[in-house]
């Protein structure tokens, strides 16, 4: 529909241009064009730039940097359009996992004007990747708050009903997504008590143990044959899954294996300490797994319960022979090496503490690369700026050139 207001038309065109640049992960142009006014603007249907990106089929791994910059400018993940849909509703319909992972927890459970939550939208459309992400978030104490609510908060969210009285499981079943309905039913059956997960059937436990044995034995062919959409994400008592065990074993590095596993499982799944599959890959030094997980939608800057990112974990815990390689994969995918964990340590601090000179050199060289890049975000972010200043001082001692 044409508009008689030129300013609205211009804003809409600018919003669409910005959304296109974000989807292409063109950070330099995003930073040049984006403003607080544009990041918070709405079109005639009350859609924001974030919603336009959410409605895209998919985005590249480097899009995260653009999205986080949009949040810095004031983009509101809770904003809704004329139908009451938020960015989380739109991503869930599209099965746009990469963006859904970046939205805050409370934005992922809001009902729209029809009473439907993002989980219900994913169940209705068969968007199983987004559905699994939402389901698996509720295994983490940081979100389910089991110490305060037991299982009641989990069940309340999982069994919410829309205005027609339908739950997510109902919608999955009614729309022919029977496997997704079983996934939802399984999560409802799980019980979190005294810091442990229980509630799997005897057969489900057997399937989970079989995957662990195959992963521990580095049996890639066996894993490909045994893995199913119903078994890859089955949790043991601490929340670890078959995908996590395979990611942890650097010998499980076959490309076909990871293509198969990620057609079946949730790359964003985390254990009860919020340690994700990517954290496991970083800890094990499994570069192939890390690359595949990142391509499938895992966030390179996901935090565990102690504030550690996969890069921090790799710097501290990856086997010496594989640490540099997996750190390169993470850095190239946009891992923010200036972040600090719950104790105030960066990945560089951890590498130094562990005496890992190769990693120290890698991180310092990466810092030099950013300092020499005109479009570095660090010039706009004071925390990163001062951290980089510290890096620069170290590099200057080594007579490295910044011209």
In percent, how much of the chain has pLDDT > 70? 89
Of 34-38, 39-43, 189-193, 324-328, the range with the lowest mean pLDDT is 189-193
Looking at every residue in the chain, the average pLDDT score rounds to: 90
pLDDT confidence of residue 395: 45
Cβ atoms of 345 and 337 within 8 Å: the answer is: no
* Helix, strand or coil, per DSSP, at residue 395: helix
pTM: 0.89
Per residue in 177-234, pLDDT tens?
999 999 999 999 999 887 799 999 999 999 999 999 999 999 999 999 999 999 999 9
In percent, how much of the chain has pLDDT > 90? 81
Q: What residue segments make up the domains of the chain, in order of their start?
A: 7-76
Evaluate if residue 4 carries a pLDDT over 60.
Answer: no
Evaluate if residue 248 carries a pLDDT over 80.
Answer: yes
Evaluate if residue 71 carries a pLDDT over 90.
Answer: yes
Tokens (6 digits) for 185: 């039913």
Q: How many whole angstroms separate alpha carbon 3 and alpha carbon 60? A: 33
- CB-count burial class (<10 Å; 0-12, 13-18, 19+) for 37: exposed
* Helix, strand or coil, per DSSP, at residue 183: helix
* Helix, strand or coil, per DSSP, at residue 193: strand
Evaluate if residue 400 carries a pLDDT over 50.
Answer: no
Evaluate if residue 385 carries a pLDDT over 50.
Answer: no
Sign of CA dihedral 4, 8, 11, 17: negative
Cβ atoms of 236 and 245 within 8 Å: the answer is: no
CB atoms within 10 A of CB 4: 6
Evaluate if residue 367 carries a pLDDT over 50.
Answer: yes
pLDDT band at 341 (very low <50, low <70, confident <90, very high): very high
pLDDT confidence of residue 370: 65
Task: Please spell the DSSP secondary structure of 272-330, one letter per residue.
Answer: TT--BHHHHHHHHT-HHHHHHHHHHT--TT---TTS--HHHHHHHHS-HHHHHHHHHHH
Evaluate if residue 382 carries a pLDDT over 50.
Answer: no
Cβ atoms of 327 and 314 within 8 Å: the answer is: yes
**Angle between helical axes of 320-332 and 357-371 (0-180°, round to 10):** 20
């Amino acid at each position: 529909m044409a508009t008689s207001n030129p300013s609205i038309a211009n804003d809409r065109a600018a919003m669409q241009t910005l959304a296109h640049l974000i989807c292409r992960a063109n950070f330099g142009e995003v930073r040049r064009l984006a403003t607080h006014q544009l990041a918070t603007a709405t079109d005639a249907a009350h859609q924001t730039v974030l919603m336009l990106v959410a409605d895209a089929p998919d985005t590249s791994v480097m899009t995260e940097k653009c999205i986080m910059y949009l949040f810095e400018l004031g983009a509101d993940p809770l904003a809704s359009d004329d139908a009451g849909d938020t960015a989380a509703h739109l991503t869930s319909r599209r099965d746009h996992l990469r963006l859904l992972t970046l939205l805050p927890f409370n934005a992922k459970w809001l009902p729209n004007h029809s009473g439907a939550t993002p989980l219900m939208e994913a169940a209705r459309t068969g968007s199983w990747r987004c559905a699994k992400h939402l389901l698996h978030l509720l295994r983490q104490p940081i979100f389910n708050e089991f110490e305060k609510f037991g299982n009641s908060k989990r069940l309340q969210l999982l069994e919410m009903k829309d205005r027609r009285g339908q739950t997510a499981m109902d919608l999955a079943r009614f729309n022919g997504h029977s496997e997704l309905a079983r996934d939802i039913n399984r999560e409802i059956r799980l019980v979190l008590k005294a810091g442990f997960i229980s509630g799997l059937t005897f057969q489900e436990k057997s399937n989970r143990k079989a995957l662990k044995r195959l992963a521990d034995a580095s049996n890639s062919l066996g894993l490909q044959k045994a893995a199913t959409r119903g078994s890859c994400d089955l949790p043991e008592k601490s929340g670890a899954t078959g995908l996590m065990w395979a990611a942890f074993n650097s010998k499980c590095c076959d490309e076909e294996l990871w293509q198969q596993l990620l057609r079946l499982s949730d790359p964003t799944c985390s254990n009860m300490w919020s340690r994700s599959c990517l954290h496991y890959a970083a800890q094990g030094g499994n570069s192939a797994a890390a690359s595949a997980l990142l391509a499938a939608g895992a966030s390179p800057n996901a935090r565990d319960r102690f504030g550690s990112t996969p890069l921090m974990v790799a710097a501290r815990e990856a086997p010496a022979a594989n640490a540099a390689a997996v750190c390169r994969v993470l850095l190239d995918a946009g891992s923010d090496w200036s972040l600090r964990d719950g104790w105030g340590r960066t990945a560089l601090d951890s590498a130094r503490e562990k005496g890992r000179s190769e990693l120290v050199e890698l991180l310092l060289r990466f810092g030099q690369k950013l300092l020499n890049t005109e479009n570095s975000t660090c010039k706009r972010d004071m925390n990163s700026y001062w951290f980089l200043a510290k890096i620069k001082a170290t590099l200057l001692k080594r007579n490295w050139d910044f011209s």
